[in-house]
């Protein structure tokens, strides 16, 4: 028996097979069953800055209420309590709410999803438009760049220096976001809510503040010869600094990795040294900004910090941070047992 296929049916069959193959390419060849999404890096940056400023405004409102509900969320590697407050959780809720508008965006945050409902968080939500208008003109200067969203990770610290926040030392408090491509931090933003100051840096673009001022390196001879170290995790860092620099470099304990990075930027400190374990959401934004200026954060084995999904979140190798060539400083510490 001879079967004849009508030309119209042949076309239908070919089209059906074509759509099936296209569906296969989109949903399976992409690796995770979802199509690739192309984004403008500038848009991700804009939302990241909006998110941390929204989170920071909430931190200030909660501080005014004097109802922090501080509780221990666990112990550090050194056996010290890590605190968690309502401000950490609500800031995180607001930040994630903004960033999750990008489907498939990989977000790495210090805090988990909150138990607070949208209704409970609403009183702490600032007017998006007003916050956005405050930084829009500056962010408009950032160049366009297309990326696959699946290649992008965002690290978030909704409240850096929680310990100091509970003590009323709000000068140390920052809210941070960092954008990573591959294993490299390419954009960092640090917001000081109690001073209404934001600093952001983008690889290949530069570092600017919320006033639109481009930040340049402070001349070396005008930089204060000082090492900033952790208030709560100093370890034996003071002993190490004295062994390397003697009385030529003073030491100042300070809260928050973000704050210590800002001290390097404004030239009131030359070196940031940490010789105990530290999480990468604490370092990512500052590291991105330092790299933009030609510096970096290295671990104490002399390797740049890496932020890919394959790299551990906890850096157990300490860090050395500077706005200048970090290897120049690292050489001074070689031969000294740091960890």
159 is in an annotated binding site: yes
Q: How far is CA 227 from CA 237, 243, 296, 302, in A?
A: 10, 13, 15, 18
Q: What is the DSSP letter of 30?
A: T
Task: Report CA Rg, the chain.
Answer: 23
Q: Which residue has the tokens 């671990």?
A: 299
Q: What is the DSSP letter of 147?
A: E
Annotated catalytic residue: which of 85, 97, 115, 162?
Answer: 162
Residues in the chain: 339
Yes or no: say if 57 and 131 are a contact pair by the CB < 8 Å rule. Answer: yes
299 is in an annotated binding site: no
Q: What are the backbone dihedrals phi and psi of residue 233, each rounded to the nearest 5 degrees, phi first?
A: -130, 45
Kindly give the residue spans of alpha helices, DSSP state H, lying in 223-302.
237-245, 257-265, 280-292
Question: 42: which 2 tokens?
Answer: 């500038």
Residues 126 and 57: their CA atoms lie apart, in Å, by 7
Residue 95 CB neighbour total at 10 angstroms: 29
88 is catalytic: yes
Beta strands 81-84 and 71-75 are antiparallel
118 is in an annotated binding site: no
65 is in an annotated binding site: no
Q: What are the backbone dihedrals phi and psi of residue 45, each rounded to the nearest 5 degrees, phi first?
A: -60, -45
303 is in an annotated binding site: no
Annotated catalytic residue: which of 12, 32, 43, 88?
Answer: 88
Which uninterrupted H or E stretch holds 166?
Answer: helix 162-166
Residues 324 and 281: their CA atoms lie apart, in Å, by 22
Which uninterrupted H or E stretch holds 331?
Answer: helix 326-333
End-to-end CA distance of the chain: 84
Q: Give the dihedral sign, CA 222/176/304/146.
A: negative
162 is catalytic: yes
Residues 111 and 106: their CA atoms lie apart, in Å, by 14
For the annotated catalytic residues, the residue numbers are 88, 162
For the annotated binding site for Mg(2+), the residues are: 110, 157, 159-160, 282
For the annotated binding site, the residues are: 110, 157, 159-160, 282
């Amino acid at each position: 028996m001879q079967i004849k296929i009508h030309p119209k049916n042949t076309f239908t069959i070919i089209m059906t097979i074509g759509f099936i193959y296209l569906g296969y390419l989109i949903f399976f060849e992409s690796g995770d069953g979802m199509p690739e999404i192309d984004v403008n890096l500038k848009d991700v940056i804009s939302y990241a800055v909006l998110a941390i400023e929204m989170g920071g405004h909430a931190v200030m409102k909660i501080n005014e209420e004097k109802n922090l509900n501080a509780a221990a969320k666990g112990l550090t590697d050194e056996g010290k309590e890590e605190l968690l407050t309502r401000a950490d959780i609500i800031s995180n809720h607001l930040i994630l709410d903004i960033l999750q508008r990008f489907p498939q965006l990989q977000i790495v945050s210090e805090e988990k999803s909150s138990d607070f409902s949208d209704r409970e968080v609403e009183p702490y939500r600032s007017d998006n438009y007003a916050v956005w208008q405050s930084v829009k003109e500056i962010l408009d200067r950032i160049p366009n760049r297309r990326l696959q969203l699946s290649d992008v990770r965002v690290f978030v610290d909704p409240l850096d220096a929680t310990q100091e926040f509970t003590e009323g030392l709000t000068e140390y408090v920052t809210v941070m976001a960092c954008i990573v491509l591959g294993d490299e931090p390419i954009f960092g933003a640090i917001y000081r809510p109690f001073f209404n100051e934001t600093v952001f840096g983008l690889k290949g673009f530069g570092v600017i503040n919320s006033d639109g001022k481009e930040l340049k390196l402070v001349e070396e001879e005008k930089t204060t010869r000082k090492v900033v170290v952790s208030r709560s995790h100093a370890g034996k860092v003071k002993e190490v600094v004295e062994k390397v620099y003697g009385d030529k470099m003073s030491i100042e304990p300070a809260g928050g990795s973000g704050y210590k990075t800002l001290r390097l930027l404004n030239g009131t400190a030359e070196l940031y040294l940490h010789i105990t374990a530290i999480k990468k959401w604490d370092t990512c934004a500052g590291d991105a900004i330092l790299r933009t200026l030609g510096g970096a954060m290295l671990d104490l084995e002399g390797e740049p910090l890496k932020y890919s999904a394959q790299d551990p979140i906890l850096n157990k190798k300490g860090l050395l941070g500077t706005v200048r060539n970090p290897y120049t400083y690292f050489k001074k510490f070689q031969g000294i047992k740091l960890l």
